[in-house]
């Protein structure tokens, strides 16, 4: 690798333009134009067929796009036929405008207008490349010659529109704007503007594409601001931005470009497009949403959008794709899980109307995600708060604080050994099988309590070491009396440290659950009992804890 063969291929504006950086945030959503059916489709290994394109088009309409670029109808029969299918079958709502792309060449422009016959609303987007590298290496033409291509194209487009029935708007792109001298790009664009003479009711779109992303985002913003300040008839111009993602900064380019004067964004869902792709409109829109700005696009059901996108494009949505990926709201880290669980509880407790949960920039439910299945995910990196959150939210099991840490380590060790994430059901199965109503070594057969003035007496029948024992004892409480009875047949000491209980409110509201925490030989043991009778549940919890001691003593 020899870095010396590279030089900066972009051009700074001739006048410094930095007013944009004084703005704190974007105040309103830009005009959105989806180019999924052109840029996104041409970048697919297997392009969409007609049925898939129509399905995708309907999705874009449902999301709320009012401008949708449907292709290059003069370039191929497939794109021509798709456009005709939309028009002839009346698939385009009255408030949606179709956009078509054409080179600034006469025969292509004329065929493009032929393809638009009967279209209610259309944007004819014509372009020619203006960059230094393309002028020098591809076209081998001077600046004036390249500018003349743009001028001739504008005149042909204007003439064709006059002679074609329909409602047309126009867009011009100095393609490879990012590699064009900025004062020259301005000169070319102003020449096109002067031909169209846009008005308040018939504005012209000037698209300034980052055809190849060459600079830091602030450079692009300065270029946009310079163009915005110097374009002719600016009040009747819509500045459109079309960022590509070669440097991985397309979203930043777009956001800073809007601050600098951009009015409109061309991009794709999930950033699909040639090379590294276009700007991801979902990320841009949801960034606005997270700042309290209405994006005017509906992404309330991201899972279904992902499913249709993957179906028609045969491309996966990356698990970490902002807002859209399956794991973007998932927390595996213990500290993150704890903060999220406490934040969610705080919001519920305080009935807060604004969102500020740690680690979650937006409410996952706003984009169709579920807290229970999407937010807290359990593997060997998880913490006590996350595992407790899963048990409580899925099954109503509210682990006592002292039990949470022990159970979390128990679950994490299993996850580590299995080398996999554990589902809520798997976690509950571990809890049920390894802690609830255990009877492997010591089993309760029957018991009867009798209250006296000072104590509670018990007659206890248990099975231990393959023998049946009938024991009587007493204590200052029911659990204490059971413990005293068991001490008569067990050859180790133990003390009850804590006991708690609650009703199981989810799934089986008639049942009670008890948690018993005991210590033997300075080691902690936990047991859980579940039964419709709270007294039985507490006894089963103590027996379960003792079974853990017996298991450890046998080395099982």
Residue range 353-381, pLDDT digits in tens: 999 999 899 999 999 987 656 666 666 56
* pLDDT for the residue 383: 61
pLDDT at residue 178 is higher than 90: yes
Q: Which of 434, 454, 476 is the last residue of a domain?
A: 434
Question: Would you say residue 104 lies in a domain?
Answer: yes
**Nearest alpha-carbon partner for 37 in 62, 10, 78, 70:** 70
* pLDDT for the residue 97: 98
Residue range 368-414, pLDDT digits in tens: 987 656 666 666 566 667 788 888 888 889 999 889 888 988 988 88
* pLDDT for the residue 474: 92
Q: How far, rounded to the nearest angstrom, does the alpha carbon of residue 110 sit from its chain's CA centroid? A: 42
Residue 412 sits in the same domain as residue 458: no
Instruction: Report the run of H or E that residue 450 belongs to, with start and end.
Output: strand 442-451
Supply the mean pLDDT for the chain: 92
Residue of higher predicted confidence among 335 and 289: 289
Task: Compute the average pLDDT of residues 164-177.
Answer: 95
Residue 356 sits in the same domain as residue 427: yes
Q: Give the domain CATH number at 237.
A: 3.20.20.70
Read off φ and ψ for residue 125, nearest 5 degrees. -105, 110
Task: Compute the average pLDDT of residues 269-293.
Answer: 96
* pLDDT for the residue 371: 66
* pLDDT for the residue 130: 96
* pLDDT for the residue 377: 65
Question: Would you say residue 19 lies in a domain?
Answer: no
Residue range 397-456, pLDDT digits in tens: 999 988 988 898 898 888 888 888 888 899 999 999 999 999 999 999 999 999 887 889
Task: Compute the average pLDDT of residues 325-344.
Answer: 82
Domain total of the chain: 3
Residue range 460-494, pLDDT digits in tens: 999 998 899 999 999 989 999 999 999 999 989 99
Residue 453 sits in the same domain as residue 534: yes
* pLDDT for the residue 507: 53
Residue 57 sits in the same domain as residue 151: yes
With contact defined as beta carbons under 8 Å apart, do 133 and 116 qualify? no
Question: Would you say residue 548 lies in a domain?
Answer: yes
Question: Would you say residue 53 lies in a domain?
Answer: yes
Strand order in the sheet with 467-475: 442-451, 456-464, 467-475
Q: Which of 389, 408, 434 is the last residue of a domain?
A: 434
Q: For every residue of 37-88, which 3-state class applies, written as one string?
A: HHHHHHCCCCCCCHHHHHHHHHHHHHHCCCEEEEECCCCCHHHHHHHHHHHH
Instruction: Report the run of H or E that residue 335 belongs to, with start and end.
Output: helix 334-350
Question: Would you say residue 59 lies in a domain?
Answer: yes
The DSSP result for 222-263, as a single string, is HHHHHHHHHSTTGGGEEEEEEEB-TTS-HHHHHHHHHHTT--
Measured between alpha carbons, how far is 180 from 11 in angstroms, rounded to an integer?
7
Residue 267 sits in the same domain as residue 386: no
pLDDT at residue 5 is higher than 50: yes
3-state secondary structure of 344: helix
Question: Would you say residue 9 lies in a domain?
Answer: no
Residue range 22-79, pLDDT digits in tens: 999 999 999 999 999 999 898 999 999 999 999 999 999 999 999 999 999 998 888 9
Residue 228 sits in the same domain as residue 281: yes
* pLDDT for the residue 17: 82
Measured between alpha carbons, how far is 328 from 438 in angstroms, rounded to an integer?
39
With contact defined as beta carbons under 8 Å apart, do 244 and 35 qualify? no
Residue 143 sits in the same domain as residue 224: yes
Residues in a beta bridge with 486: none
Token pair listed for 210: 């980052």
Q: Give the domain CATH number at 503.
A: 3.30.160.270
Distance separating the N- and C-terminal Cα atoms of the chain = 59
Residue 89 sits in the same domain as residue 146: yes
Q: Which residues contact 543 (CB under 8 A, 6 or more apart)?
A: 438, 439, 442, 443, 444, 527, 529
3-state secondary structure of 123: strand
Measured between alpha carbons, how far is 552 from 434 in angstroms, rounded to an integer?
13
Measured between alpha carbons, how far is 226 from 14 in angstroms, rounded to an integer?
8
Rounded alpha-carbon distances, angstroms, from residue 241 to 129, 172, 225, 367, 508: 16, 12, 12, 26, 56
Which range marks the domain in which residue 414 is found? 334-434
* pLDDT for the residue 494: 95
Read off φ and ψ for residue 400, nearest 5 degrees. -60, 155
pLDDT at residue 331 is higher than 90: no
Residue 263 sits in the same domain as residue 197: yes
* pLDDT for the residue 556: 45
* pLDDT for the residue 472: 92
Q: Which residues contact 378 (CB under 8 A, 6 or more apart)?
A: 332, 386, 387, 390, 411, 415, 421, 422, 424, 427
* pLDDT for the residue 237: 98
DSSP code for 199 = B
Q: Which residues contact 405 (CB under 8 A, 6 or more apart)?
A: 384
* pLDDT for the residue 505: 62
Residue 50 sits in the same domain as residue 162: yes
Residue 297 sits in the same domain as residue 153: yes
Question: Would you say residue 7 lies in a domain?
Answer: no
Length of the chain equals 556
Token pair listed for 544: 């379960």
Measured between alpha carbons, how far is 175 from 173 in angstroms, rounded to an integer?
5
Q: Which of 434, 465, 480 is the last residue of a domain?
A: 434
The DSSP result for 416-440, as a single string, is HHHTS-B-HHHHHHHHHHHHBS--S
With contact defined as beta carbons under 8 Å apart, do 158 and 196 qualify? yes
Residue 296 sits in the same domain as residue 365: no
Question: Would you say residue 318 lies in a domain?
Answer: no
């Amino acid at each position: 690798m020899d870095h010396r063969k590279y030089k900066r291929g972009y051009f700074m504006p001739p006048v410094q333009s930095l007013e944009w950086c004084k703005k704190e945030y974007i105040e309103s959503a830009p005009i959105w134009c989806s180019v999924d059916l052109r840029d996104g489709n041409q970048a697919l290994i297997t392009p969409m067929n007609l049925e898939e394109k129509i399905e995708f088009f309907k999705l874009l309409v449902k999301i709320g796009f009012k401008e949708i670029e449907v292709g290059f109808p003069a370039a191929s029969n497939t794109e021509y036929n798709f456009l005709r299918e939309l028009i002839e079958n009346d698939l385009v709502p009255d408030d949606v405008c179709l956009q078509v792309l054409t080179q600034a060449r006469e025969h292509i422009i004329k065929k493009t207008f032929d393809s638009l016959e009967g279209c209610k609303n259309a944007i004819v987007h014509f372009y020619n490349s203006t960059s230094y590298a393309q002028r020098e290496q591809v076209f081998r033409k001077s600046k004036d010659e390249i500018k003349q291509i743009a001028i001739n194209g504008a005149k042909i487009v204007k003439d064709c529109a006059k002679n074609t029935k329909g409602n047309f708007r126009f867009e011009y792109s100095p393609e490879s704007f990012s590699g064009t001298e900025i004062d020259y790009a301005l000169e070319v664009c102003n020449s096109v503007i002067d031909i169209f003479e846009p008005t308040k009711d018939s504005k012209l779109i000037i698209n300034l594409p980052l055809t190849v992303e060459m600079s830091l985002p602030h450079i692009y913003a300065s270029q946009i601001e310079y163009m915005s300040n110097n374009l002719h008839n600016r009040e009747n111009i819509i500045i459109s931005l079309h960022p590509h993602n070669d440097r991985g900064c397309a979203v930043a380019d777009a956001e800073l470009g809007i601050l600098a004067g951009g009015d409109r964004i061309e991009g794709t869902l999930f950033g699909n497009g040639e090379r590294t792709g276009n700007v991801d409109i979902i990320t841009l829109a949801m960034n606005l949403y997270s700042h309290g700005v209405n994006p005017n696009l509906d992404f309330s059901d991201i899972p279904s959008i992902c499913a249709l996108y993957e179906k028609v494009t045969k491309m996966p949505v990356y698990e970490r794709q902002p807002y859209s990926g399956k794991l973007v709201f998932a927390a595996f880290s213990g500290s993150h899980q704890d903060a999220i669980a406490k934040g969610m509880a705080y919001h519920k407790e305080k009935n807060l109307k604004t969102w500020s949960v740690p680690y979650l920039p937006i409410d996952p439910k706003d984009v169709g995600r579920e807290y229970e299945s999407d937010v807290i995910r359990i593997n060997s990196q998880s913490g006590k708060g996350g595992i407790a959150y899963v048990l409580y939210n899925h099954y109503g099991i509210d682990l006592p604080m002292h039990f949470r840490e022990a159970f979390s380590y128990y679950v994490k060790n299993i996850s580590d050994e299995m080398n996999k994430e554990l589902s809520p059901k798997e976690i509950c199965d571990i809890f049920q099988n390894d802690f609830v109503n255990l009877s492997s070594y010591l089993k309760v057969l029957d018991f009867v309590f009798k209250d006296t003035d000072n104590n509670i007496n018990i007659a206890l029948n248990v099975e231990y070491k393959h023998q049946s024992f009938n024991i009587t004892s007493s204590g200052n409480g029911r659990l204490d009396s059971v413990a005293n009875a068991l001490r008569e047949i067990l050859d180790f000491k133990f003390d009850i440290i804590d006991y708690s209980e609650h009703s199981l409110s989810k799934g089986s509201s008639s049942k009670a659950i008890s948690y018993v925490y005991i210590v033997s030989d300075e080691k902690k043991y936990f047991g859980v009992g579940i039964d419709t009778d709270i007294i039985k549940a507490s006894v089963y919890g103590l027996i379960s804890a003792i079974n853990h001691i017996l298991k450890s003593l046998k080395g099982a």
